[in-house]
Amino acid sequence: MTKKRSLLERLDQDNAVICAEGFLFEMERRGYLAAGEFVPEVALENPQALKNLHIDFQHAGSDIVEAFTYNGHREKMRVIGKEELLEPLNRAALKIAREVADAAEGEPNLMAGNISNSNIWNPDDPESQKQVRAMFEEMCQWAVEEGADMLVGETFYYAEEAYCALEVMKEHNVPAVVTIAPMGENIMRDGPTPVETCQQLEKLGADVVGMNCFRGPETMMPYLKEIRLAVDCHVGALPLPYRTTKEHPTFFNLPDEHGCTCPAPHGRTFPTALDPMYMNRYEIRKFADEALELGIKYLGVCCGASPMLIREVAMAAGKTPKAARFAENMSNHFMYGSNDRLPEHIKSYGEKA
């Protein structure tokens, strides 16, 4: 087996390290979990489907197999009345991620344990904070027991919750990535700006700080630029592939202004009717190019990501994942190609097609 370098070695030596995430949306599209509820029960109910998901993102160029435990925390399991499945679910997801990471061709992938926004953190209620810390502690413990090479804390919209997550992550001797997700007011819900939060996370010992989810490149990039200048550690950027705007910086309140004839019954495009605002691969490629230009090296795409978009990011960083074999090739298209064999009368019909 090729030697497995650590996250920090890769960040120092390679153009970029790619981390696929946003598995809730992709598993929902594939028919293995419910939109809205968003619980990653797939690790127990359809382990093969989860394994396939990881393999597809690995094939597309992800260097990290992030265990699918997003929302797989005690509070969410209580919401759906299945708290007894908490530990089995976490361990199953971690084992699947470990197995796929180790099976990578050449250098094994890194396997990441994952904790995230608890949605019960309350700045005015120390009891809620104690509960959140306990949730982070048990999940990080299971992650390292199952062989995690690193820990990812993500999608935090309370700064203090992100700090709490990092404190718990730092109790384990593995690299810690923390990415935040400020909502539409463009500050953390407890006040600090995204930049201040990332600076504090660096001070508290995070190896990578940055942003993930909630925002597309358009409304994440301005903050990424500031963050890159304000910290010395590595920076992570994992936006959504949706066209968020200054008026609507996150996908939660993104309107469909594309002539929708049948709006979602629940009254908003999030999370089930965002399709018309989806970015094409060239827009994601442009985002990756810009991020790399800034010196941002921990890259991925969050909710809405498909393997095709991860391939774009990986190839922007000069990587040749296995899926690069099937990167677009228009030259052999029957009507828009350049191949000598294509008949002229078909090619000339292209603009009327």
Name which of 117 and 200 has its Cβ closer to Zn ion.
117
Q: What is the radius of gyration, based on Cα positions, of the chain?
A: 20
Is residue 89 within the footprint of Zn ion (CB under 5 A)? no
Site map (CB under 5 A) of Zn ion, residues 8-27, x = contact:
--------------x-----
Question: Is residue 78 classed as helix, strand or coil in its secondary structure?
Answer: helix
Q: Pairing mode, if any, of strands 150-156 and 208-212? A: unpaired
Name which of 177 and 213 has its Cβ closer to Zn ion.
213
Name which of 5 and 68 has its Cβ closer to Zn ion.
68
Would you tell me how many other CB atoms lie within 10 Å of the CB of residue 345?
A: 7
Tell the smallest beta-carbon distance from residue 86 to Zn ion (Å): 21
Q: What share of the chain is helix, strand, coil (3-state, %, to 5)?
A: 45, 10, 45
Q: What distance in Å separates the CA atoms of residue 65 and residue 148, rounded to the nearest whole number?
A: 10
**Please, which residues bridge with residue 65 across strands?**
111
Q: Which residues of 285-295 are buried (b: 16+ CB within 10 A; e: fewer)?
A: bebbebbbebe
Binders of Zn ion among residues 198 to 217 (CB under 5 A) are: 213
Is residue 310 within the footprint of Zn ion (CB under 5 A)? no
Nearest to 20 by CA among 175, 205, 241: 241
Is residue 273 within the footprint of Zn ion (CB under 5 A)? no
Tell the smallest beta-carbon distance from residue 22 to Zn ion (Å): 5
Tell the smallest beta-carbon distance from residue 213 to Zn ion (Å): 3
Residues in the chain: 353
Tell the smallest beta-carbon distance from residue 143 to Zn ion (Å): 19
Options 301, 302, 309, 316; binder of Zn ion; rule CB under 5 A: 302
Name which of 97 and 104 has its Cβ closer to Zn ion.
97
Q: What distance in Å separates the CA atoms of residue 244 and residue 211, rounded to the nearest whole number?
A: 15
Which range binds Zn ion by CB under 5 A, 71-79, 83-91, 162-170, 303-311?
A: 303-311
Name which of 108 and 242 has its Cβ closer to Zn ion.
242
Is residue 164 within the footprint of Zn ion (CB under 5 A)? no
Name which of 24 and 104 has its Cβ closer to Zn ion.
24
Is residue 279 within the footprint of Zn ion (CB under 5 A)? no
Helices (H), 216-343: 217-230, 281-294, 307-316
Which range binds Zn ion by CB under 5 A, 7-15, 36-44, 92-100, 294-302?
A: 294-302
Residue pair 186/198 in contact (Cβ under 8 Å)? The answer is no
Is residue 162 within the footprint of Zn ion (CB under 5 A)? no
Q: Across the chain, which distance is largest between two alpha carbons, in Å?
A: 74
Name which of 66 and 149 has its Cβ closer to Zn ion.
66
Is residue 241 within the footprint of Zn ion (CB under 5 A)? no
Helix (H) or strand (E) holding 163: helix 159-169
Binding-residue total with Zn ion (CB under 5 A): 4
Which range binds Zn ion by CB under 5 A, 4-12, 221-229, 291-299, 300-308?
A: 300-308
Is residue 60 within the footprint of Zn ion (CB under 5 A)? no
Is residue 303 within the footprint of Zn ion (CB under 5 A)? yes
Contacts of 207 (CB under 8 A, 6+ apart): 7, 8, 175, 176, 177, 233, 234
Tell the smallest beta-carbon distance from residue 212 to Zn ion (Å): 6
Contacts of 199 (CB under 8 A, 6+ apart): 230, 231
Name which of 22 and 108 has its Cβ closer to Zn ion.
22
Binding site for Zn ion (CB under 5 A): 22, 213, 302-303
